[in-house]
Chain A
Amino acid sequence: MPTPRQISVTVNGTVYESTVEPRLTLADFLRHELALPGTHVGCEHGVCGACTVLWNGRAVRSCIMLAVQTDGTEITTVEGLSKDGELNAIQQAFVEEHGLQCGFCTPGFLMTITEMLDRNPDPSDEEIYDYLGGQICRCTGYQSILAAVRNAIEKKKAAS
């Protein structure tokens, strides 16, 4: 078995020094080693998007990345979105628009939308579809998620 490696990674603003097996996925590292289980695993082959996290600001699938790849980088997970129990604009929009049912895919959607709105606070419908098209939700039929995205855009505009 390959030798475990030492990594240093910043997750939601906290620096973690860890020794990990090279084969450990980023999702398992976050969920089981760092006790951040809000990142959910839906397919383990990079299709469904439930495990999406931000890696240096980019939305990536943590089920098909290895923890060792994140050495020296920054990760944001769903646990990093709210502050002191206050939901952020995107989370609040999902609650208001009933943008979730079982909620298992939701963290992945929230992280993808975070990246989208960080890059462009006023995306076109085409851009929204482009981003959401890689995330699978089995419950909602996407209509309320689309409404939540539009709600979040308005909330962020009003706040800026």
Chain B
Amino acid sequence: MTSRIPNKIADLPNSSPRFIGQEVERVEDRQLVSGKTEFIDNVSLPGMLHCAILRSPNAHAKITSIDTSAAEKMPGVIAIITGEDAKRWTQPMQTVPEGWGTLCLATDRVRFVGEPVVAVAATSRYIAEDALDEIIVDYDPLPPVADTQKAADAPPIYDEHESNVVFQRKFTWGEVDAAFTDADKVLTDKFRWHRLGANPLECNGVITEWDIIDGTVTTRGSFQSQVNMGLLSAGALGVPSNRMRVISQPHGGSFGGKGGPRGTIITALLSRKAGGRPVKWIEDRMEYLAGGAGQSWDRFYDVSLALKTDGTITGLRVVLLDDLGASAEGFGAVSAAKPLAAFTGPYAIPVAEYDLTLVATNKLPQSPYRGMGPPPHNWALEQMVDLAAVELGLDPAEIRRKNYIPKNAFPYTIASGNEYDSGDYEAALDAIVEMADYKALRREQEEAREQGRHLGIGLVNTIEPGVFDWNAYAIVGSQQTGVPEGATVGIDIMGKIVAKVGFSLEGQGQYTVISQVLADYFKVEMSDVRVVPQDSLSAPPHFGPGGSRLGVAITGAVLGAADRLREKLIRVGANLLQSPPEALELSDGMIRIPGVAEAQIPVAQVAATMLARSDLLPEGMDPNPEATYVWTAAGRTPADDQGRAKSYLTAANACHLVLVEVDTATGMVEILKYFIVDDCGTRLNPATCEGMTQGGVAQGVGAALLEEYVYDDDAQLLTSTFIDYLIPTIYEVPMTTKKALVTPSPYTPLGAKGMGEGAIHTTPAAVMCAINDALRPLGVKAHEVPASPRRLWTLLHDQSVG
């Protein structure tokens, strides 16, 4: 049965929608500003124990012995587990690609600093941490593999693999060799993106109970996708999927980094050993930085463009070496595969090639981070376009304009196979050039140069693939197409609306979107709608937030469910109004016969009839004023042997223009002006969209200028606190001037596009292009992110080192 899901706000059954598309206040916020939201560390269960984890101080070593006897005797210590327990009770955690994982606790060998070795459950966290001091682990150090570029030839860190190459393949889309042979000019450059990562303000946390009699594991936590967490944990624990109950608590941000099952598996084992008592583990920041899900994208790029003299880009070659760290657990290689969804950016580059090598080293395994792979790729591509502009004597704005996919070419299939739904890139460029007064900025730059100041302008544009699909990752082993998201919508006997969903609060305001949509659909107040999260076993099929999809997907789910509910209400209404169902409609909160003024009944009354007047129902009617719909993107295709598929459903676009000043004496970069034109289709809540964009700018500034996990030559982490790993503050993040364009998606509920990852796709490229624009007269290029003061100063003053 298909559902009618409107593609436009105007197609809702409401003659004057008041909420959707408006900057309404968020339903989440009154609780949040009062400190009343139930984050995982606010939850306490009867008999609960507290876990602390002993971690490896070595990057690579054999474990020769573990002595927990003294810790076991300490008052308050209830259970201790080591790799032996993990071997006995669990399987290795899932990896992408398969076969590159470990158990939740190290067994005979540690492979990164921070790897869990022993876990303790005690009556308080303080006692559990005291117990760690009494545990003696003897290590026999091994030579660490620390250098990404030498990893392929280094001794393998897994005995079962012949080398440290996790994945290597070249993808060719079209006649690439011919494009480069026929080019008027070929440009090549190298780029280095250092490790950084999510760092939500709340680290991971989990409480797990293993009911040994019933064979059921219940885990509550700070989980981005509870169904995914359930499958990963059930697989590792050997628990049937319907005996693995996952409850996602509201969480303090994720940005991709709350997907790993390690915490659940460790606490499950401790609970098992403690007779089923609930065990809580709250990750602290130093654990997160060294051993959590917070490191991503450790990349070396070698990029070539084939060009015509007039600036037309005829081919793109990207060689990527990415350092996955000590395993491919969690999403592993996925982030290097994602750029396929927008490989050539907003440009009509007809052919392209991706030569991809992923290696294992003795660093923390990578985790997903907002954007999931494209942000470094976008910087490399945009920096090359700037280089082409310089080489060909074109303005950066004009070379981009020349290569855009034209607005009448949509839907447009890019070389790497994905289809872009809609867009008008030239309009975004025009808007930003006008808004920023680009010509005046160039004059300002010239004047500054005459005064010895080094200003630079970055003007870049990117595509944000939205509404992720598993088929985008077929090249690294994903077998699925489609990502279901379900919702159940019901009306109670008092006419109030309840929406049941499979995800918790994470920060993007999706409960608000659901309330906006349903309030307008049934013409009630937003306060008449209540969103109630369900656990992984009681919710309809779901995934939750991730891959810029939930705003679109949940809008589809609740509209689909609302439409099914409408059909039920009309059947009942037809009985009450003694008319055929085809004659009735839902409009403005009434079930009515169009054109007959008195022939209308409020929806609430029809719903109440279903629950309280069975005598008035059509024969055989299901008397439940509730309906469920599971939305998934239509038209997705399985990938071909080169990974080409219709994958991500939407293509949002953004144009950023930034003016920076580089202080050549210190290497400091100051952002002077920042403009954004953004087009994510219909904006369901413009204030939320603006917040997503600005938050992405902050993380992008962090990426470009500040954030870096530094490992030394022995793969020891040197940035293990927020004193060393620098998160942008209000001083570093520019207050941006923004303008929204709206090119609705022809394919999605209400025309919205995925946009939650947003500006992190664009900001690093914009800032780096601006820095290089400033440096150009000085004859140096910044090739490494972050462009920290030390790096820029070295580049400017000590080129023998740089």
A-side interface residues toward B, CB under 8 Å?
21, 23-24, 31-32, 36-45, 47-48, 50, 77-79, 81-82, 87, 91, 94-96, 98, 100-107, 110, 129, 132-146
B35 in contact with A37 (CB, 8 Å): yes
A95 in contact with B691 (CB, 8 Å): no
Identify which of B688, B690, B722, B731 contacts A48 (C-beta below 8 A). Answer: B722
Least CB separation from A90: chain B residue = B33
Q: List 14 A-B contacts (CB under 8 A).
A: A45-B723, A91-B33, A104-B201, A104-B253, A110-B33, A133-B729, A137-B698, A138-B699, A139-B201, A139-B691, A141-B696, A142-B729, A143-B736, A145-B730
Complex CA–CA separation, A40 to B37 (angstroms)? 11
Q: Whole-angstrom distance from the CB of B405 to the nearest CB of chain A?
A: 29
Q: Which residues from chain A contact B26 at a C-beta distance below 8 Å?
A: 95, 98
B721 in contact with A140 (CB, 8 Å): no
A129 in contact with B730 (CB, 8 Å): yes
Question: Chain A: interface secondary structure?
Answer: loop
Given contacts A81-B34, A103-B32, A141-B696, contact A136 B722 (CB under 8 A): yes
Which of the candidate stretches B374-382, B506-514, B628-636 sits at the interface with the other chain?
B506-514
A47 in contact with B126 (CB, 8 Å): no
Complex CA–CA separation, A105 to B28 (angstroms)? 15
Q: Which residues from chain A contact B690 at a C-beta distance below 8 Å?
A: 98, 144
A101 in contact with B695 (CB, 8 Å): yes
B691 in contact with A140 (CB, 8 Å): yes
Pick from B35, B696, B698 the residue with the most CB of A within 10 Å: B35
B34 in contact with A91 (CB, 8 Å): yes
Counting CB contacts under 8 A, is B391 at the interface? no
Pick from B29, B30, B509 the residue with the most CB of A within 10 Å: B29
Least CB separation from A25: chain B residue = B126
Complex CA–CA separation, A22 to B37 (angstroms)? 29
Counting CB contacts under 8 A, is B528 at the interface? no
Q: Whole-angstrom distance from the CB of A28 to the nearest CB of chain B?
A: 8
Q: Whole-angstrom distance from the CB of A92 to the nearest CB of chain B?
A: 8
Among B395-419, those with CB < 8 Å from A are none
Q: Whole-angstrom distance from the CB of B174 to the nearest CB of chain A?
A: 39
Given contacts A142-B730, A142-B733, contact A106 B33 (CB under 8 A): yes
A31 in contact with B696 (CB, 8 Å): no
Among B657-672, those with CB < 8 Å from A are none
Complex CA–CA separation, A45 to B723 (angstroms)? 9
Complex CA–CA separation, A32 to B39 (angstroms)? 13
Counting CB contacts under 8 A, is B697 at the interface? yes
Identify which of B201, B509, B733, B736 contacts A40 (C-beta below 8 A). Answer: B201
Counting CB contacts under 8 A, is B25 at the interface? yes
Instruction: Type the 1/0 row for B475-498, where 1 means its CB is closer than 8 Å to any CB of A.
Output: 000000000000000000000000
Given contacts A129-B730, A129-B731, A139-B691, contact A104 B33 (CB under 8 A): no
B505 in contact with A102 (CB, 8 Å): yes
Identify which of B253, B688, B723 contacts A102 (C-beta below 8 A). Answer: B253
Q: Which residues from chain A contact B581 at a C-beta distance below 8 Å?
A: none
Q: Which residues from chain B contact A50 at a C-beta distance below 8 Å?
A: 201
Complex CA–CA separation, A87 to B30 (angstroms)? 8
Instruction: Type the 1/0 row for B692-736, where 1 means its CB is closer than 8 Å to any CB of A.
Output: 001111110000000000000000000001110001011101011
Given contacts A95-B33, A102-B506, A138-B727, contact A23 B126 (CB under 8 A): yes
A78 in contact with B201 (CB, 8 Å): no
A98 in contact with B688 (CB, 8 Å): yes
Identify which of A78, A81, A129, A140 contacts B694 (C-beta below 8 A). Answer: A140
Counting CB contacts under 8 A, is B285 at the interface? yes
Identify which of B35, B39, B508, B696 contacts A77 (C-beta below 8 A). Answer: B35
A103 in contact with B695 (CB, 8 Å): no
A40 in contact with B285 (CB, 8 Å): no
Least CB separation from A103: chain B residue = B32
B698 in contact with A140 (CB, 8 Å): yes
Q: Which residues from chain A contact B173 at a C-beta distance below 8 Å?
A: none
Q: Whole-angstrom distance from the CB of B33 to the nearest CB of chain A?
A: 4
Counting CB contacts under 8 A, is B202 at the interface? yes
Pick from B41, B690, B729, B730 the residue with the most CB of A within 10 Å: B730
Least CB separation from B696: chain A residue = A141
B-side interface residues toward A, CB under 8 Å?
23, 25-26, 28-30, 32-37, 39, 41-42, 44, 126, 199-203, 251-253, 255, 284-286, 505-509, 687-688, 690-691, 694-699, 721-723, 727, 729-731, 733, 735-736
Complex CA–CA separation, A144 to B599 (angstroms)? 48
Complex CA–CA separation, A139 to B36 (angstroms)? 19
Given contacts A87-B30, A139-B253, A144-B694, contact A40 B202 (CB under 8 A): yes
Complex CA–CA separation, A118 to B59 (angstroms)? 49
Q: Whole-angstrom distance from the CB of A98 to the nearest CB of chain B?
A: 5
Q: Whole-angstrom distance from the CB of A60 to the nearest CB of chain B?
A: 17
Q: Whole-angstrom distance from the CB of B707 to the nearest CB of chain A?
A: 11
Q: Whole-angstrom distance from the CB of B279 to the nearest CB of chain A?
A: 16
Q: Which residues from chain A contact B29 at a C-beta distance below 8 Å?
A: 94-95, 98, 100, 103
Q: Which residues from chain A contact B508 at a C-beta distance below 8 Å?
A: 101
Q: Which residues from chain B contact A135 at a C-beta distance below 8 Å?
A: 729-730
Complex CA–CA separation, A148 to B653 (angstroms)? 28
Q: Whole-angstrom distance from the CB of B673 to the nearest CB of chain A?
A: 14
A103 in contact with B733 (CB, 8 Å): no
B694 in contact with A132 (CB, 8 Å): no
A104 in contact with B200 (CB, 8 Å): yes
Q: Which residues from chain A contact B727 at a C-beta distance below 8 Å?
A: 48, 136, 138
A79 in contact with B698 (CB, 8 Å): no
Complex CA–CA separation, A107 to B687 (angstroms)? 21
Complex CA–CA separation, A23 to B699 (angstroms)? 35
Q: Which residues from chain A contact B505 at a C-beta distance below 8 Å?
A: 102-103
Complex CA–CA separation, A112 to B722 (angstroms)? 19
A102 in contact with B285 (CB, 8 Å): no
Identify which of B44, B255, B285, B509 contacts A42 (C-beta below 8 A). Answer: B285
Shortest beta-carbon contacts, A-B, top 7: A38-B35, A104-B252, A103-B32, A102-B507, A141-B694, A141-B698, A101-B507
Q: Whole-angstrom distance from the CB of B752 to the nearest CB of chain A?
A: 18
Q: Which residues from chain B contact A40 at a C-beta distance below 8 Å?
A: 35, 39, 41, 201-202, 252
Q: Whole-angstrom distance from the CB of A147 to the nearest CB of chain B?
A: 9
Least CB separation from A109: chain B residue = B33
B721 in contact with A43 (CB, 8 Å): yes
Least CB separation from B688: chain A residue = A98
Given contacts A43-B285, A87-B33, A139-B695, contact A103 B721 (CB under 8 A): no
A42 in contact with B33 (CB, 8 Å): no
Q: Whole-angstrom distance from the CB of B689 to the nearest CB of chain A?
A: 10
Q: Which residues from chain A contact B729 at a C-beta distance below 8 Å?
A: 132-136, 142
B730 in contact with A132 (CB, 8 Å): yes
Pick from A81, A94, A100, A133 the residue with the most CB of B within 10 Å: A100
Complex CA–CA separation, A105 to B729 (angstroms)? 13
Given contacts A42-B285, A48-B285, 14 further A-B contacts (CB under 8 A): A37-B42, A38-B36, A47-B723, A48-B201, A95-B26, A102-B32, A104-B251, A129-B730, A133-B729, A139-B201, A139-B695, A140-B691, A142-B698, A143-B735
Given contacts A37-B42, A77-B35, contact A138 B735 (CB under 8 A): no
B41 in contact with A41 (CB, 8 Å): yes
Complex CA–CA separation, A78 to B36 (angstroms)? 9
Q: Which residues from chain B contact A129 at a C-beta distance below 8 Å?
A: 730-731
